[in-house]
Chain A
Amino acid sequence: AQTVTQSQPEMSVQEAETVTLSCTYDTSESNYYLFWYKQPPSRQMILVIRQEAYKQQNATENRFSVNFQKAAKSFSLKISDSQLGDTAMYFCAFMRAGTYKYIFGTGTRLKVLA
């Protein structure tokens, strides 16, 4: 069975600074996808970034980038130039290819301070 672990329940960062959220996972699968989702106070889940396991290049979306270490089964999210609107719960998620099912981590609550 696959598991996703987020070891940082809460984090804070000053506005405009950079913060890194950690995520590790465990799987014996070779074909899978990894995701970071943001859940603001509105509770709407928003896709931040995703990574295909077969790609070695780390995914990047504007201020968001990941550090994907496949051998170490690590998938951290870096947020650069943090903004107040980044305040939210962040979930790391795993999906085995072809299943369309997410396995979510327990989340990291990020607060951006003015």
Chain B
Amino acid sequence: GAVVSQHPSWVICKSGTSVKIECRSLDFQATTMFWYRQFPKQSLMLMATSNEGSKATYEQGVEKDKFLINHASLTLSTLTVTSAHPEDSSFYICSATTPSGRAMSTDTQYFGPGTRLTVL
């Protein structure tokens, strides 16, 4: 099946610094990627939808200036956590898909393995 990778798998940074997380579709072209956040022992919460070549769409309550998303190619989306603080510590997961455009379609989404961010 299709493979999605994330890099790094874990990162520790100091408060106030910025961290970039990459999400790559390895064997397919992903026109759409999604970024989720998962706190310990909690569910996945959608943060934003990233479409190749256009601006990301953020969910309500997600600060677009803090969580910068770039989807510059069909195989790569990046999430940059700017001026990270301890409360940003979480597990970040991306998923990728190539929507067929059919109204009733539920094109399969492929999830990356996640990135654990710890902000000291």
Contact = CB atoms under 8 A, between A and B. Distances in A.
Interface of A: 31, 33, 42-47, 50, 52, 54, 91, 95, 97-98, 100-107
A24 B109 CA distance: 22
12 contacts: A42-B113, A43-B91, A43-B93, A43-B113, A44-B113, A44-B114, A52-B104, A100-B32, A100-B106, A101-B49, A104-B43, A107-B43
Interface string B74-117: 00000000000000000101010101000111111101011000
A56 B3 CA distance: 31
Interface of B: 32, 34, 42-46, 49, 91, 93, 95, 97, 99, 103-109, 111, 113-114
B106 A102 contact: no
A44 B1 CA distance: 14
A102 B96 CA distance: 12
A91 B109 CA distance: 15
Top 8 A-B pairs ranked by shortest CB distance? A45-B111, A104-B43, A33-B106, A43-B114, A104-B44, A106-B43, A44-B113, A98-B103
Given A42-B113, A43-B91, A91 B44 contact: yes
B111 A98 contact: no
A7 to B, nearest CB: 14
A101 B104 CA distance: 13
Contacts of B45: 104
B45, B97, B107, B111: most-surrounded residue (chain A CB, <10 A): B111
